[in-house]
């Protein structure tokens, strides 16, 4: 990521745009937002990454389906006259927008220290829009994954097409519309893996999950609204962990190892061919544990 070559700003306002050579930094210097390209794609994106991790790690992309040309040096992320946040190319075309109908004239955008990119009212502090409502392939602490059972609206992860293409791939991760709740990986619309039901301590299909650590997981339910969301938080905020769905359908916990300067993967699903949904038949089961589910 280009932070070492860019100047940093702390907010995007109607009078302060984010240019190609700038980044937006969270107050605690944990996350950074800016423009980036992937491989030799010739495409440019706006996204969020960890600021001080030596391995470039994108956790959210705004224009994942509408990339810019990497040759366009006049792109800006700005607050439009209607209060929406807009990504505008060099020809003044809107490539991406928060697209809200009723907004404040006091809109500003900031990046929070948990990686949440928010558009808010600068006077009241009310959040008008937030990136955590539109996750990509990465599940961060304090983010919520789930659904509104009444409306059918889902909030789920979507894999990238490839390592150099963040547009939605074949695999997604979310909560199924059934009780008790459980996580599923879907290959397009076909169930690929499931976590087993949530029993208020752990997911029954994940025997590696240590119940001593289950308080890090939260199930947030509102029966009147019909919403059910899972979230997780870290006991130690200096510990960097996330979950990611890969382009080949692997759901992985990633922990940053500062000493080795790389990501470790203490847990991954499916962990064996028999872990695939329905692979062993209605009476099949898996014996043997090859991974330890640590701390989540």
Q: Judging by DSSP bridges, how do beta strands 7-9 and 22-25 pair with one another?
A: parallel
- Gap between the Cα atoms of 95 and 67, Å rounded: 8
pLDDT in tens, 118-167: 999 999 999 999 999 999 999 999 999 999 988 888 999 999 999 999 99
Q: Lowest-confidence range among 32-46, 177-191, 241-255, 273-287?
A: 273-287
Sign of CA dihedral 183, 187, 188, 190: negative
CA 113 to chain centroid? 14
pLDDT in tens, 252-296: 999 999 999 999 999 999 976 666 766 665 545 454 444 443 444
Is pLDDT at 202 greater than 60 in this prediction? yes
pLDDT in tens, 61-89: 999 999 999 999 999 999 999 999 999 99
HSE (side-chain half, CA atoms, 13 Å) at 192: 19
- Gap between the Cα atoms of 218 and 238, Å rounded: 20
The conformational region for residue 293 under phi > 0 = left, psi -120 to 50 = alpha, else beta, is: beta
Cβ atoms of residues 203 and 148 within 8 Å: no
Peptide bond into 47 cis (omega under 30): no
Mean pLDDT of the chain: 88
Listing DSSP states for 91-158 in one string gives TS-EEEE---SS--TTEEEEE-TTS-EEEEETTT--EEEEGGGS--SEE-TT--EEEETTT--EE-EE
Once rounded to an integer, what is the mean pLDDT over residues 77-103?
94
Peptide bond into 180 cis (omega under 30): yes
- Please list, in sequence order, all residues whose beta carbon lies within 8 angstroms of the beta carbon of residue 65, skipping any fewer than 6 positions away: 167, 168
For 220, phi and psi rounded to 5 degrees? -105, 110
HSE (side-chain half, CA atoms, 13 Å) at 64: 24
């Amino acid at each position: 990521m280009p932070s070492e070559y860019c100047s940093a700003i702390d907010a995007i306002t109607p009078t302060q745009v984010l240019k190609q050579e700038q980044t937006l930094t969270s107050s605690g210097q944990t996350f950074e937002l800016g423009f980036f390209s992937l491989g030799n794609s010739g495409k440019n994106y706006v996204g969020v990454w960890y600021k001080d991790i030596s391995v470039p790690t994108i956790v959210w992309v705004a224009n994942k389906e509408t990339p810019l040309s990497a040759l366009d040096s006049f792109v800006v992320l700005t607050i439009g006259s209607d209060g929406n946040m807009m990504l505008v190319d060099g020809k003044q075309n809107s490539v991406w927008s928060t697209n809200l109908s009723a907004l404040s004239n006091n809109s500003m955008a900031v990046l929070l220290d948990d990686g949440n990119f928010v558009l808010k009212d600068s006077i009241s502090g009310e959040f008008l829009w937030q990136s955590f409502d539109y996750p990509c392939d990465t599940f961060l602490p304090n983010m919520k994954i789930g659904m509104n059972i009444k409306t059918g609206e889902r909030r789920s992860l979507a894999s990238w097409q490839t390592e150099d293409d963040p547009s939605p791939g074949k695999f997604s991760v979310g909560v199924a519309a059934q009780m008790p709740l459980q996580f599923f990986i879907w290959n397009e619309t076909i169930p690929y893996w499931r976590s087993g039901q949530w029993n208020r301590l752990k997911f029954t299909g994940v025997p590696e999950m240590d119940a001593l650590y289950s308080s890090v997981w939260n199930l947030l339910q509102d029966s009147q609204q019909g919403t059910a969301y899972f979230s997780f938080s870290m006991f130690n905020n200096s510990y960097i962990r996330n979950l990611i769905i890969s382009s080949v359908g692997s759901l992985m916990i990633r922990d940053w190892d500062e000493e080795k300067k790389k990501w470790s993967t203490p847990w991954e699903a499916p962990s064996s061919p028999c872990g695939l949904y329905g692979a062993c038949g209605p009476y099949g089961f898996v014996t043997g544990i090859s991974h330890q589910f640590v701390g989540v």
